[in-house]
Amino acid sequence: MNIAEAAGTRRTLGICLGAVAVGLASAVIAAPAAVAAPDCSKPAVDAQVAQSQGAIQGYLNTHPDGQRMLMTAALQPRAQASATLQAYAQSNPQEYQEFTALLAPLGTLQKQCGVQVIPPQYQWAFDQFVG
């Protein structure tokens, strides 16, 4: 895997895990967010995705074990990747909660605007944690 592929995989995994966290945090955010009509214009969606990606990448840069786990899971078959994500979440609940909070805006955006911001190949991971 070359550097560009690794960076792309890391970015995609960040978005995926961000989406997982979004779903969990959306339960907390849902009541206030339901009152205000979301801005689903392309510029607003792009801005939210970019903001979330930046926050997720910044978080992963300061949590190398989590980043390593995500890279490992990305290269595993789905069942094994699922077990890897679950094991890490169980052994690092605080980190999982923080990361989930970073992902929450993407899940909310996806639900409220009917857009696909989570790459389809990682939607399963989002669904696994969000339910």
pLDDT score at 6: 52
Which pLDDT tens digit goes with each residue over 92-128? 999 988 888 888 888 888 899 999 988 777 777 766 6
Do residues 10 and 86 make contact, with C-beta atoms less than 8 angstroms apart? no
What pLDDT, in 10s, does the model give residues 30-70? 444 445 678 899 999 999 999 988 998 999 999 999 899 88
DSSP string, 58-111: HHHHH-HHHHHHHHHHHTS-HHHHHHHHHHHHHH-HHHHHHHHHHHHHHHHHHH
pLDDT tens column, 11-38: 555 565 554 444 434 444 444 444 567 8
b/e 46-67 (16+ beta carbons within 10 angstroms → b): eebbeebbebbbebbeebeebb
